[in-house]
Amino acid sequence: MTIGRRQFVKTLGVAGVVLASDIPQSFAAEGRFAEKSQKSYDVAVIGAGVFGAWTAHELGRSGKKVILLDQYGPANSRSSSGGETRIIRMGYGAKEFYTRWSWRSLAAWKEFFARTAQPLFQNTGVLWMADAGDPSIAKTSATLTKVGIPFELLSHADLQKRFPQIGAEPSMVGLFEPESGALLARRAVQAVVADAIKNGVDYRVAAVVPPAVVPPAGERRLESIALGDGSAVTAAKFVFACGPWLPRIFPELLGGKIVPTRGEEFFFGLPGGDSRYATPAMPTWIDNTTETFGTPDIEGRGFKVGIDLHGPSFDPDRDSRTVNEDSLKFAREFLARRFPGLRNAPLLENRVCQYENTTNEDFLIDRHPALENVWLVGGGSGHGFKHGPALGAYVAAKLIEGGEVEPFFRLSNKGKVEAPSIFHR
């Protein structure tokens, strides 16, 4: 039975599935919504965060019949992709693979934003700050040189001269990536989904019921997935890109191997008329000495301070997203020390998110060991956002062409995450 969009939306609401009012108008207006027919797909992608959105986008571009499903909507506020901004940097120490993916992704993001006429990348540059003896600076320099990515090494004197608004300690040096910057995360994911829909991908707001852990005897394939409203989606292949929800969908397989933990970001107001902490004077920054990161003021939202604090495990559906007072105190003390001009800056906004960590912070991209047509994609581990385009293209190629994934992406290489440490990285 074919039903109109209005009726479809109503049906979802009545069935207790998330209301379609969550669907941003930007793609609701132009999108092609999946109807509750018995249509069968080449691929069903579950999860419209940055990983699922780019995977569906790239599969759609390859001519596959794709449906993308999300329980709360693309880059919703509970998802890991739902923040205002995410850093895109090339520095990954000696991990050349991620440097190359980041570089490739930067080009793809820029091409995408140019084609869809949306300025969602801010080329602020990224400044690493570290102690002079920090080995990651030498490793990053070597990798960036090898890959041919521009960067500058800054002595303490260079840092002071170039960025006088930063209170760098005498022991500190810098590494500056001029091509890097910040992605306007939530809107970027929604733009990717809108473009995927425009190119023929079906999209639906629906909660997917976790499939049976043990398939019926003799079967190694998943034929369909059940949705919260009682309907089902049939596909030849399934990609579960469910971010921090992934271990809940496959608890036996991923419990303890992907562990969501709390992450917090604060946005502080600049003094009126003060442009020292806004782009272009202030770059996006990562401070290795304190495990903090942030962006300059972008679009007037405030100066962002993020803390790589790993608290206890975090339930993405239900846990409190009210800021922790100790974290705010830490952020304020850090601000007074590193950015003295913002010592008394008022807190404008804060966000509580979650990292979905693997033991080694490598992503999970692999087939389900018992279901040969099911792929598991996640474990963003606090650094996945930037890689959306490269990851989407990679997963699409594996689904279409086959072949083994890199060893570090495999499920077999994921250990149990130890009790969360205070700081990560």
Ligand X SMILES: Cc1cc2nc3c(=O)[nH]c(=O)nc-3n(C[C@H](O)[C@H](O)[C@H](O)COP(=O)(O)OP(=O)(O)OC[C@H]3O[C@@H](n4cnc5c(N)ncnc54)[C@H](O)[C@@H]3O)c2cc1C
**What minimum distance in Å lies between the beta carbon of 170 and ligand X?**
28
**14: Cβ–Cβ under 8 A, 6 or more apart, which residues?**
none
**What minimum distance in Å lies between the beta carbon of 132 and ligand X?**
25
Read off φ and ψ for residue 153, nearest 5 degrees: -95, 135
Please report whether residue 87 would count as binding ligand X according to CB under 6 A. Answer: yes
Please report whether residue 48 would count as binding ligand X according to CB under 6 A. Answer: yes
Alpha carbons 24 and 113: distance in angstroms, whole number: 18
Alpha carbons 86 and 182: distance in angstroms, whole number: 6
Q: Single out the residue of 17, 56, 353, 399 in contact with ligand X (rule: CB under 6 A).
A: 353
Please report whether residue 287 would count as binding ligand X according to CB under 6 A. Answer: no
Q: Single out the residue of 59, 69, 120, 331 in contact with ligand X (rule: CB under 6 A).
A: 69
Instruction: For the chain, give the number of residues.
Output: 425
Report which residue type is found at 195: D
Read off φ and ψ for residue 374, nearest 5 degrees: -115, 130
Please choose, out of 44-52, 59-67, 340-348, 368-376, the segment that lies near ligand X by the rule CB under 6 A: 44-52
Q: Single out the residue of 17, 20, 23, 46 in contact with ligand X (rule: CB under 6 A).
A: 46
Please report whether residue 355 would count as binding ligand X according to CB under 6 A. Answer: yes
**What minimum distance in Å lies between the beta carbon of 298 and ligand X?**
13
Please choose, out of 139-147, 318-326, 376-384, 417-425, the segment that lies near ligand X by the rule CB under 6 A: 376-384
Please report whether residue 24 would count as binding ligand X according to CB under 6 A. Answer: no
Please report whether residue 72 would count as binding ligand X according to CB under 6 A. Answer: yes
Please choose, out of 28-36, 131-139, 324-332, 351-359, the segment that lies near ligand X by the rule CB under 6 A: 351-359
CB-wise, 211 or 341, nearer to ligand X? 211
Please choose, out of 8-16, 20-28, 122-130, 237-245, the segment that lies near ligand X by the rule CB under 6 A: 237-245
Burial of 373 (0-12, 13-18, 19+ CB in 10 A): middle
Please report whether residue 70 would count as binding ligand X according to CB under 6 A. Answer: yes
**What minimum distance in Å lies between the beta carbon of 207 and ligand X?**
5
**What minimum distance in Å lies between the beta carbon of 92 and ligand X?**
11
Please report whether residue 283 would count as binding ligand X according to CB under 6 A. Answer: no
Q: Single out the residue of 382, 389, 392, 420 in contact with ligand X (rule: CB under 6 A).
A: 382
Alpha carbons 247 and 213: distance in angstroms, whole number: 12
CB-wise, 208 or 341, nearer to ligand X? 208
Judged by CB under 6 A, how many residues of this single chain contact ligand X?
A: 39
Alpha carbons 371 and 369: distance in angstroms, whole number: 6
Please report whether residue 242 would count as binding ligand X according to CB under 6 A. Answer: yes
**407: Cβ–Cβ under 8 A, 6 or more apart, which residues?**
413
**What minimum distance in Å lies between the beta carbon of 382 and ligand X?**
5
Q: Single out the residue of 91, 211, 263, 389 in contact with ligand X (rule: CB under 6 A).
A: 263
Please choose, out of 24-32, 57-65, 68-76, 161-169, the segment that lies near ligand X by the rule CB under 6 A: 68-76
Q: Residue numbers of the site for ligand X (CB under 6 A)?
A: 46-52, 69-72, 76, 79-81, 83, 86-87, 207-208, 241-245, 249, 263, 265, 306, 353-355, 378, 380, 382-386
